[in-house]
Amino acid sequence: MAKVKKWIKSRTKKPESEYEEAKREFEMAIGRPFINIRIAIPKGFEDSRAQFLSLETDKDFLMEVEDLVKKRLVYEKRGIKHTS
């Protein structure tokens, strides 16, 4: 039972995570809204781990993703079904 209590206590929010949550809420209310997307490396590309991880800061890749989001929002605004 003591192990369970210790595990539960370790899962409680820390001040840093509370700060990050407050910061996100502020940015969403005052600044430009944003989303965070968790993307797993595609199956069969496990040997490209370093290249995959570098995409997180690759400006060209981020611009491509932003363009994809723009296209998706335009499709949805026009009521066009997007096929994947």
Asked if 72 and 79 count as a contact pair (C-beta separation under 8 A), the reply is: no
User: Can you give the residue ranges of every domain in the chain?
Assistant: 9-78
pLDDT digits (tens, 9 = 90+) for 2-43: 776 666 666 666 677 888 888 888 888 888 888 889 999 999
Q: Sign (positive/negative) of CA torsion 44, 58, 31, 81?
A: negative
Given a cut of 90, whether residue 83 has pLDDT beyond it is: no
Asked if 52 and 45 count as a contact pair (C-beta separation under 8 A), the reply is: yes
pLDDT digits (tens, 9 = 90+) for 32-79: 888 889 999 999 999 999 999 999 999 999 999 999 999 999 999 988
